[in-house]
Amino acid sequence: MSEEHRRTVEAGYDRIAERYLATKDPQDPLTLAALEELARYLPPGAAVLDLGCGAGVPVTRWLVERGFAVTGVDLSERQLELARRLAPGATFVKSDMSELSLAPETFGAVVAFYSIIHVPREEHPALLADIYRWLEPGGSLLATLALTDFEGEESDWEGWGAAMRWSHYGGETNLGLLRAAGFDIRYAEPRTGKGVGDESETWLWVLARKPTTEQRRSGA
Ligand SMILES: C[S@@+](CC[C@H](N)C(=O)[O-])C[C@H]1O[C@@H](n2cnc3c(N)ncnc32)[C@H](O)[C@@H]1O
């Protein structure tokens, strides 16, 4: 990612971390239902990687409270400061998710809520390939992705006094990229819930699976 792109997203979240957190519902029904479903596919205590964990509410905290071994990754130091306080028990790493160097087959699940949309979209195929590699066979990816194509920047997001940048493809392309990386799609559907502002937002909610060797062999 270009230095300029990274700086815009990092400085933006450093500046607006508290305001963004204030928009989160710790009991958000869409998020909790998706996490409950993910948990059904995970053994107790499984390792989970939370990419772009933000302030850790509700996702990182929920995963920790369920007994999973959670690693949260974020570009923004301010977000990580909040997350360390709000989701104690997780391990936190400050990094660009596309520059992480992690061992293959380390995680039972990777979650990425509203975060891959900030990574330059030409890097999405490589990022999905990394996620696939980091997952154990049979592991799951739970992500909220975009339904529409967008590449650009807002100079004052939500009037919060910081610029922000997004970069993503539309729903069909996102699903194609997931399949090209090797994932099976358990579900992929537009779901509408609480947004950052007053209006509700619709995102592509995806639960994808890295097939086991037997599943790959049998085509199941
Ligand atoms: C919209 S917030 C979502 C935070 C959290 N997942 C949630 O649902 O509340 C996006 C987060 O992704 C982080 N982020 C954006 N690009 C990133 C990157 N390339 N690597 C790591 N974190 C990134 C931002 O700093 C921010 O905390």
pLDDT digits (tens, 9 = 90+) for 55-72: 999 999 999 999 999 999
3-state SS, residue 8: helix
Which of 28, 74, 98 is the best mutation target for the ligand 1 pocket, counting ligand atoms within 8 Å of the beta carbon and taking the most?
74
- Residue 148 Cα to ligand 1 midpoint, Å, equals 19
Rounded to whole angstroms, the Cα distance separating 173 from 203 reads 14
**Could you report the per-residue pLDDT of 86-128, keeping only the tens digit for each?**
999 999 999 999 999 999 999 999 999 999 999 999 999 999 9
Give the bridge partners for 90, in sequence order.
88
Give the bridge partners for 188, in sequence order.
206
**Could you report the per-residue pLDDT of 187-213, keeping only the tens digit for each?**
999 999 989 988 899 999 999 999 998
Phi/psi of residue 80, each to 5°? -65, -35
List alpha helices for 151-208, DSSP H. 171-181
Q: Whose CA is nearest to atom 24 of ligand 1?
A: 52
Q: How much is the pLDDT for 220?
A: 66
Q: How much is the pLDDT for 190?
A: 97
CB-based pocket (< 6 A), ligand 1: 9, 13, 24, 52-54, 59, 73-76, 79, 96-98, 113-115, 118-119
% of the chain at pLDDT higher than 90 = 94
Nearest to 73 by CA among 57, 89, 88, 54: 54
- Indicate the length of the chain as a whole number: 220
Mean per-residue pLDDT over the chain, rounded: 96
Q: How confident is the model at residue 218 (pLDDT cuts 50, 70, 90)?
A: confident
What are the chain's domains? 3-218 (3.40.50.150)
